[in-house]
Amino acid sequence: MARLLIKYGKEGPLSYLSHLELTRSIERSFRRAGINVRMSSGFNPRPKFSYGPALPVGIGSCAEYMLVDLEDEIPENELLNRISCVLPKGLAIYIAKYIEKKVSLVNLVQSASYRVSAEVNAAEDDIIKAIGLVKSQKCLQVTHKGKQKWVETSKAILDLSLRCRNGNTVEFYLLLSLGSQDSIRPEAVFALLAEKLPEKTSSRLLEISRLEQFVNQGEPLMNILDFMKV
C-alpha cells in the first residue's frame, strides 16, 4: 500500500461546493484517471480518502490537504499529470508526495491563515481601531447555524491585521484557531470587526480564501508539508 499526501485547492464557482460534493468530485477524478485507490474493509467498503478540516461553503483555498491510500505506487509526477487532466475547472492539485506517517489530518491541524477581502467605507484609522477593539476583548460571542458560543479571543484569533487597501477595498490577514473549543470562522471575525466600525459605516464581505494550514499555533508556524518532511 502506498500512502499519498496531496495538497490541493479550489476557487471560483467550486468554492460553493459543500465538503461532501467536493470529496465526491475528487474521488470521481481518481476513477477517471484510472488510479486504483485501496478500499476499506467491512460490509460497505469505501475508497480510503481522508481529508483535513472542511471549509465553509463559499470560501476558496490554495492549501487543502488529503491522504489517499493507493493499491500501487505511481510516480508522483505521473500521478499529478493524470489527475490534473480530469479535474474540473476550479479544482487543482499542487503537490503529491508519498509519506510513511499515519496521521489524522483533522486532528493534526491546529490553526489556519486566511485572506479576507471586503468593501469598507471607513477611514484607515477607524479600521485599525476596530481591529484593536476586537482583539482587546477577553471573550467573543459567535453565532453559527443559529447556535451561540463564547470563545477566548487570544486563543481564537491568533492574528488579525490590515494588509493593504485600495480605495474602499480592504484586505485583511487572519490566523485563526482550528479544531478546538476556541475555534472561530473567518466570516465570524469579519462580522465582529464590522460591529466595531463607526456608526453608519457600510461594509461588505467580498471574498475569503484559506492560505495555509498549520500543525501548531505559535511561532514559528509549521505547515503540514514541513511537518511531514516532504
Look at residue 1 and tell me whether its pLDDT is greater than 80: no
Question: Do residues 97 and 230 make contact, with C-beta atoms less than 8 angstroms apart?
Answer: yes
Kindly report the number of other CB atoms within 10 A of residue 222's CB atom. Answer: 13
Residue 156: phi, psi to the nearest 5?
Answer: -85, -45
* C-alpha cell at position 168: 474602499
Amino acid at 174: L
Read off the pLDDT band of 187 (50, 70, 90): very high
Q: Give the position of cell 473567518.
A: 186
Give CA separation, 46 vs 7, 24, 32, 165, in Å. Answer: 21, 12, 17, 47
Name the nearest CA neighbour of 189 among 119, 124, 123, 142.
Answer: 142
Q: Where in the chain is the domain with CATH 3.30.70.580?
A: 2-107
Overall CATH class of domain 2-107:
alpha beta
Name the nearest CA neighbour of 22 among 47, 57, 69.
Answer: 57
- State the pLDDT at residue 181: 84
Read off the pLDDT band of 120 (50, 70, 90): very high
DSSP helix/strand/coil, 115? strand
Look at residue 12 and tell me whether its pLDDT is greater than 90: yes
Q: Where in the chain is the domain with CATH 3.30.70.3190?
A: 109-225
Mean pLDDT throughout 15-31? 94
- State the pLDDT at residue 43: 81
Look at residue 41 and tell me whether its pLDDT is greater than 90: no
| DSSP structure class, residue 58 | T
- State the pLDDT at residue 230: 55
Fold of the domain built from segment(s) 109-225: Alpha-Beta Plaits (3.30.70)
Question: Do residues 115 and 208 make contact, with C-beta atoms less than 8 angstroms apart?
Answer: yes
Look at residue 49 and tell me whether its pLDDT is greater than 60: yes
Residue 29: phi, psi to the nearest 5?
Answer: -65, -40
Question: In percent, how much of the chain has pLDDT > 70?
Answer: 99
Mean pLDDT score across all residues of the chain: 94
Mean pLDDT throughout 117-144? 95
Read off the pLDDT band of 101 (50, 70, 90): confident
